[in-house]
Amino acid sequence: MSHQIQLFNHRVNRIERNYANRIPETFTINEDGLVVPRTRRRLRFRFPFRALISGLVCAFLVKGFLIYHLGQEDYTSRIDRMLTGSTVDQAAARVLLPDQASLWVSEQYAVLVTFIRQP
């Protein structure tokens, strides 16, 4: 029974939150004569920081994996070859340049693989 009460309270809180986010502009009269507030939602302009941080973390994980899988020498030689290519290749090479975070991630991959392969 308490679970049902929690669900009910959750729905009531959600409805109250939605109601608090609305700003009544005017009142209108429906066809049946009922007076209802005409509302509009507040506009919220927020930057998606969570998506940006998730993308950066994924980029460091992929770069670290590539450094671990290819080896640091081979990876840097491939990046050097990309730096002499077209403009798009040069832009991609600048993004893929090894940095401290991706090198640390590649070391952690190596530690993880040796831990998994232990008998």
Check residue 1 and give its pLDDT. Answer: 64
Q: Exposed, middle or buried, 64 (CB in 10 Å: 0-12/13-18/19+)?
A: buried
Check residue 54 and give its pLDDT. Answer: 96
The pTM assigned to this predicted structure is: 0.59
pLDDT per position as a tens digit, 65-117: 999 999 999 999 999 999 999 999 999 999 999 999 999 999 999 999 999 99
Looking at residue 42, what DSSP letter applies?
P
Q: Which residue has the higher pLDDT, 43 or 95?
A: 95
